[in-house]
Chains A and B, each alone.
Chain A
Amino acid sequence: MSEVAIRAHGLTKRYGAVVAVDHVDIEVGAGEVVGILGPNGSGKTTTILMLLGLTEPTEGRAEVAGFDPLRAPLEVKRRVGYLPDSVGFYDGLSARDNLAYTGRLAGLTRGEIDDRFERAMIRVGLPDVGRERVSSFSRGMRQRLGLAEILMKEPQIAILDEPTATLDPHSTQEFLAMIRGLKADGTTVLLSSHHLDQVQSVCDRVALFNRGRIALAGSVTELAQQVLGGGHVIDVEVHGPDVAERLRRMPDVARVQTLGPELYRVDCARDLRAEIARELAASSALVGLRFAAPSLNEVYTRYFDEARDAA
C-alpha cells in the first residue's frame, strides 16, 4: 500500500449504552477499492458518517485524505464524494439545478459546473435529461445522478453506501462498471454493500463488520484462508463411490461440499488438483477439475454461521 487515503484507529461510537462502532482500525490505500460488508446494524454506515465528519466519534481518530474529519471536516468533504443509499434529490428541480446546487456548495465556479456536469452526465449514461425534473427519474436514474454528482466533484475518495441496493440487475452491472471507472481514474473507493458477488467483482480488499467491529479484513483469498481453511477452491466433477469421503481424508483439504450428484467443491490450503486426480483416477471416472475462485458469499455465510454457533 503506497499512500494512505483513509486511516482510522480505535474509532468508536457509543449511543448511551449501545456501542455502534467498537474500536475500528482500518487503512485504505490511495486508488484502492475496498468493500465494507456486514449485517444491518453492524456499524458500517456509522463508520462512514464518522469518516465524513457527519457524526463525532466517541473515541479514536481518523484521517481522511490527510485531514482529521473531526477538526477539519470541510477539508475532508472537499476531497470526498459521498453517495448514500437511496439518494434523494429536490424533485421540483432539474437534474442540472440539483447538481449545480451541491456543486456551488462544493465551491465550484459556474464554468466548472457547466463543464463538469455535461461530462459527468455522459459518463453515467444520462446525457439528455439534464433539464428534466428529477421527479420523473426512476430509482436507477437517481443513483446514476448521485454518481454524476461525485464525478462532478472530482474527489480523491468516493464513499458509496449500498449504491446498488435498489437497482435492477442490468443497472447494477452498469453501475459496477462505473465504479471500476472511478478506480481507473485513480479514485479511492469505499463501497458498502450487501451484494457480496458485486463487492467481490470490484473490490481489491474487503472488511467484514460484525457487532461494530471489523471481524476480518483482507483480500477475498486471504479471507477464504482464514474462514474456509484454505485459499484455494477446486470444483471436482466425478462419477464414483464415496468420493466426498475420500476427498475429505486427503491432507490439506479443509472442507468438501457436495454441489450436485457428481459435483464436489473442495476448499484446500494449496493447489491439490494433481493429488485429487491421482486419488480419484483409480476407482472413479474423473470428468473435470476446475480451479474456482473462493466465493465471498461462502466466506460471509460460513463466518456468520460459525459466529452464531459460537454465540
Chain B
Amino acid sequence: MTIGFALDCGIALLVVSVAGWTIAARASFAAVVGFVSFGLLVTLAWVRLAAVDVALTEAAIGSGLTGALLLGAAARLRSNEVAAQAERPGATLRIAAALLAATVAAALAAAVLLLPDPAPTLAPAAAANSGATGLGNPVTNVLIAFRAMDTMLEKVVLVLALVGVWSLAADRCWGGTPSPPRGAGTADATAFLAQLLTPLGIVVGIYILWEGADHPGGAFQGGTILAAMWLLVMMAGLAKPPTVGRRSLRLVLIAGPAVFLVVGLGGLWLGAAFLAYPVAYAKAVILVIEFVMTLTIAVTLGLLLAGPPAQEAPP
C-alpha cells in the first residue's frame, strides 16, 4: 500500500464520516457547519482525482457559497428549530428509507466496480481539437467551445433561478432592494476584513479567470470569488445591495447569455453552425465571452445569495 493510496483512503473515510455527521446532527446550524467541512473534504478528493478545475469549483460554489447561503438560512430558522424538531418520521419509515438508501448506494458502488475496461474517453478528441481555440486548458476548451451549448443554457438557468427568487418578494417590496446579508462578529472587524481582503480577492478572481485559458481556473471560479468579495463588502455595510428594478443591473444580468447568443447566431449567419467560432479570431471571441460571463456570474451569484427584495424601492 503506497502513501498516496493510504491518503486517498483516509480522505474517503473522512468524507463519508462527515457526510454521516451532516445527516445525523441534531442542530441545523451544526449540520450546515458539517456540510461546509464535507465540501472542503470533497475538494481534496477532486484534487486527488486530478480534476483541479472541479476542485476549485467545489471549494468556491459547492462548499463556500452554498455553505454561506445555508448558514444564513439556519440562523434565520433558529427560533423555529425546537418546534420543527418535534416532527420525526416513524421507525417503519426510517427503516424503509435506510433499506432504500443502502440499495441505491450498493447499486452505485457496483456500477463503479463494474465500469468497462478500457474506459471510454473523449480525451483524445479534446486533445486533437485543442489547436482550434488556442487555449491550453482542456476543461475550459470543453466548457467554452466543444460543449458551449451546455454553458450557455446554464447561464440561462442562473438567470431563471434569480427570476424565481425575486418573484418570492412580498407585493410592496416588488422591484425593491434585498436586505443586506448579515455578517458574523462585530461590525468593525467585518469592515476591516472587507477593506483588507476585497482588493486582494478581486485580483485573485481576475487572475483565476485569466489563467483559466491555460491552467486550472476559469469564468465560474473567478466569478464566484468576485461574488464573494461583493458579498463581504455588503456584509460589512460598506456597500448597499442594489435595487433589483434598476435597468443597468438587469442589463449586466443578461449580458452573459446575450453575448453568448449573439456569438452563436453569428456562427450560424457566417455559415458554419450555431456557436461555431471564426477560427482566425477564436481566442479573442472566447476571451470576450469569458469576461462578460464572469461579470454576469459574479452579479447573479451575489444576488442569488442576497435573496428576494425585502425593502421597498427608493422613489
* Pairing of A with B: no
